[in-house]
Amino acid sequence: MHPGAIPAAIVGDPSRPPIVKPILPWVFLGILVVLAIAGIWYGIVTRMPEHRRRKASLLTSVVCQLSLLGVFKYFNFFAETFVTGLHGLGIEANPVLISVILPVGISFYTFQSLSYAIDIYRRQFEPTDRFFDFALFVSYFPQMVAGPIERARHLLPEFQKRRVITLAQSSRGLYLIMLGMFKKVAIADGVAPSVNQVFGSTGVVTSADVIGGTLLFAVQIYCDFSGYSDIARGVSKLFGIDLMLNFNLPYFAKSPREFWRRWHISLSTWLSDYLYKTLGGNRGGLAFICRNLMITMLLGGLWHGAAWNYVLWGFYHGSLLSVHRVWTYGRDNAATESRNLLLGAAKIGFFFLFTLYGWLLFRANSLSQVVDFSRLIFTDFGSLDYGAAIPRLSALAGIPVLAAMELAEYNLDNRYWYRRLPLPLFGLLCATLLFLTLMGTSNEPAQFIYFQF
Amino acid sequence: MSQPSSSTSSSERPLTRRRAALIVLWTLLGLALIDVGVNVAFAYPSDPKITSVGQLPAYFEYGRSIEGKLDRITRADPSETAPITLVGWYEPLRSDAIGGAPGGPMVSFYGMSHSVRLSQALVRTTHRYQSRSVGAPGATANWAFGAFLRDRDRKQSKVAVLSIMSLNAPMVATMTAMTWNSAFPMPYTTDRFVLAGNGLRTVRLPYESFGSFTRLFYNETAWAGVRQQFERFDAYYDTFLFRRSILDRSATLRLVRRAYGLHLERNARARVMDDRGFHGGTEEIRLLNGIVRAFAQQARSDGIVPVIFVINNYGYGAHLYDALKDTLATCEIPYLSSHTIVSPSDPRNYLPDTHFTDTNDDRLAMALEQVVDAQLARGRTAFQPAARCPPSPVARDTAVSS
């Protein structure tokens, strides 16, 4: 374990008010310590034979961890919703709200810690006695604040094994860091002002603005989030640690099911393993499966943030998955997989439109904005004037480069496609990425979107 | 398509040290190729008189050193130099008669383009006042006050309007529009005011005209002395950004310098303000208040009504007004703060180049007219300093004067 990892992981947002800044890192550290103690205690208890104690211990661990998440992330949201509901019934009440800064990465390390407890309960993983290894698992700095959400059965052995850092691993790590920086600095930060202008506008917004802004947000969130994951994986490789793949060409998905196998893989597999399957998964009729899908995606949406548009986004994706499940129920997916390139491209394009609308729900600042923007693009399609800012030059040049790279990866069906390139061409590719990243360094820096979750 | 494979194919060769070194070499060679390609494809015109430069040549030029850019745009002969190098000089101080009612009371404006636009709007909206403007592109509050002090014709005015805007309020501790505007440096100089007790001390550069600037700029020893003054007194001076070097030849390294410049600018701005407003204890905000106080006292002693035009740019709320309101109230200085007329949170009130729309300029001018009317109606009492306002003398630092 790297001794500096835990302190490095608890540094909060430096732009917060200075009065609370000196105190909060210790609060955050306290949360980590509590989580670590809860986890290790559970590991010890589960070695005892009593079946009931195992269950009780699991329940204790889950309740403790979800309580922390609930207090920090959802308390105000539910309190305000409850009071709004009371107002709707004509009952006057003032919500009791807590004023607290959301600890950085709490959603990520809570889920990570939960997976440890559940895996042990399911006897899929032997508990560890080594506190610092477990603490490092919870607070491992490259992925702590925005994932990937690692499983203990994968990451703890990575810490405990004797690590040999090879040239191939280091160079792959550097390539991933370079790629992640390119995605974030050149593209995501380059389109952010245009997106912010559309979704933050208090003035007149046209249909073209909404479509353009949503399309650019699709680019932004992918490059921002997958860029972070690439950097986290790249940094880890420099330490000889392999983190799981979190994104796998998500915009090449032809269906909602495929999308969730490609987008935020560590969250979707977590939800599948620990929520969907616990609810019964596919073991039942179509209605039962759809119910499980809806619950899973609603909670998955809520995981992102305490706001109704995230719930709506989860509901939307749950609906897409359910409709798709009904559509494909009883069919052999492999047999229906078309090899026709044009048809495949059409399917990708068609499903991408659904993905885009999902991003509108995700990015909207309020439910009223969802309604207004939806009206503009579905029923009140008026002006085609695009008045929002044009993305920065680094993004305009970077997007085609990234699209070409991903197309090559998709067509060659090989994540390491670039290794097949002749050295001069690969060198030119690296130079292009570096140059575009340097162009992007002039963009206004923006915090990673998933830091807020 | 099946899930992508993570396997490597037979066409991939294992990574050896030699191969890794070759990748690095090819990458560097690739960067060099792109660098040369950008320099050739987006070459910046060498003629300083060409003002309409393409967006891409301008983009890749931003990161050139300030001296490098001045080299490109400056010629000793005023007929050959870039027009931007000729504006904003204190010597000669240029004033523009905007027009208005012949024989009507004169209102003089000191400041940046917002100030010029307001002077024009005043003529459009009223037929009772004459308007004249003394301005420089992006003029900071210290430039405007320095211009007011130098304006020999100011005593012909009944009213003097000093414009201060939130966008460049943090740049009040600079000596020239080169340092704070490294992307588009303008060589004109400004008075640098330094807080001295209740008053201000003035630090001046050894040149205030285009002619003396070119003489110094092309004299390496003399220019080194000017740089030392910048280093000592200009809050935005940075050697890496300022000094010409061989790095100017590389498009890639110019990108690095540009990012560095923006980083410095963000830091400098963050030192003075955040989302909640300007930090009252900083030198810059104390200076702004000192300038406002000194301007009002000087104007009043000249028998002129002082008015402060507070320009709250889009996204800045009423932060600048908040930073000045105590001084304005204590010293009973008439003012017009744009936030009372134009919401600084509605982008529709502004043009893409950050100016107010024409309609809003007119509304501001009408509001200014009311302020001026009220002050002139008060007669002599408008020229009396408030009892609660401490005297704010302006002393000149001769150590750096010409």
H, E, C per residue of A2-18? CCCHHHHHCCCCCCCCC
Q: Do A416 and B6 touch (CB under 8 A)?
A: yes
B12 part of a folded domain: no
Chain B residues in contact with A15 by the CB 8 A cut-off are 274
What is the structure's pLDDT at A382?
72
| DSSP notation for A18-72 | TTTTTTHHHHHHHHHHHHHHHHHHHHHHTTSS-HHHHHHHHHHHHHHHHHHHIII
Q: Quick one: tokens of A443? A: 């963009």
* Runs of H (alpha helix) within A89-140: 106-121, 131-139
Q: B134, B280 in Cβ contact below 8 A?
A: no
The distance of Cα A312 from the centroid of its chain, to the nearest Å, equals 17
C-alpha–C-alpha distance, residues A190 and A394, integer Å: 6
Indicate whether this complex's ipTM tops 0.85.
no
Please tell me the distance in Å from B135's CA to the nearest CA on chain A: 30
Q: Do B4 and A415 touch (CB under 8 A)?
A: yes
Q: Do A414 and B17 touch (CB under 8 A)?
A: no
- Catalytic annotation, pick one of A2, A51, A154, A304: A304
Nearest-CA neighbor of B392 among B281, B252, B291? B291
B52 part of a folded domain: no
At B315-345, the pLDDT tens digits run 888 999 999 999 999 999 999 999 999 988 8
At B180-220, the pLDDT tens digits run 988 889 999 999 999 888 789 999 888 999 999 999 999 99
User: For A118-193, where are the E strands, in sequence order?
Assistant: none
Is A304 known to be catalytic?
A: yes
Q: A15, A447 in Cβ contact below 8 A?
A: no
Report whether pLDDT(B12) > 80: no
Strand order in the sheet with B199-203: B192-196, B199-203, B394-397
Average pLDDT over residues B378-395: 74
Report whether pLDDT(B53) > 50: yes
Closest Cβ opposite residue A413 in set B5, B27, B56: B5
At B248-296, the pLDDT tens digits run 999 999 999 999 999 999 999 999 999 889 998 899 999 999 999 999 9
Domain span including residue B372: 96-205+278-400
Q: How many domains does chain B have?
A: 1
What is the structure's pLDDT at A284?
84
User: What angle is formed at CA B30 by the lines to CA A172 and CA A394, rounded to 5 degrees?
Assistant: 80
B336 part of a folded domain: yes
Hey, which residues does B337 pair with through a beta bridge? B310
Tell the residue number behind the tokens 């309409």, with chain if given.
B52
Please tell me the distance in Å from B17's CA to the nearest CA on chain A: 8
Residues with Cβ within 8 Å of residue B196, at least 6 apart in sequence: B395
Q: Where are the domains of chain A?
A: 5-160, 168-440
**Percentage helix, strand, coil, to 5, in chain B?**
50, 15, 40
Q: Could you tell me the CATH number of the domain that includes residue B159?
A: 3.40.50.1110
Closest Cβ opposite residue A442 in set B14, B56, B259: B259
Q: Walk along chain A (453 residues) and give the pLDDT tens digit of each residue.
A: 344 443 433 444 445 444 444 556 667 777 888 778 777 767 766 666 667 777 877 888 888 888 888 888 888 888 888 888 888 888 877 777 777 777 888 888 899 999 999 998 888 888 888 889 899 998 888 888 787 999 988 999 888 888 888 898 999 999 999 999 999 999 999 999 999 988 987 667 888 889 999 999 999 999 999 999 999 999 999 999 999 999 999 999 999 999 999 999 999 999 999 999 999 988 888 999 999 999 999 999 988 888 888 999 999 999 999 999 998 877 766 555 666 788 889 999 999 999 999 999 999 988 889 999 999 888 877 777 777 788 999 999 999 999 999 999 999 999 889 988 999 999 999 999 999 999 999 887 777 777 766
Tally C-beta pairs within 8 A across A and B.
Answer: 107
**In whole angstroms, how far apart are CA B242 and each of B60, B188, B233, B391?**
17, 15, 15, 38
Q: Whole-model pTM?
A: 0.82
Q: Do B27 and A441 touch (CB under 8 A)?
A: no
Hey, which residues does B132 pair with through a beta bridge? B97, B108
B251 part of a folded domain: no
Q: Is the peptide bond before B187 cis (omega within 30 degrees of 0)?
A: no
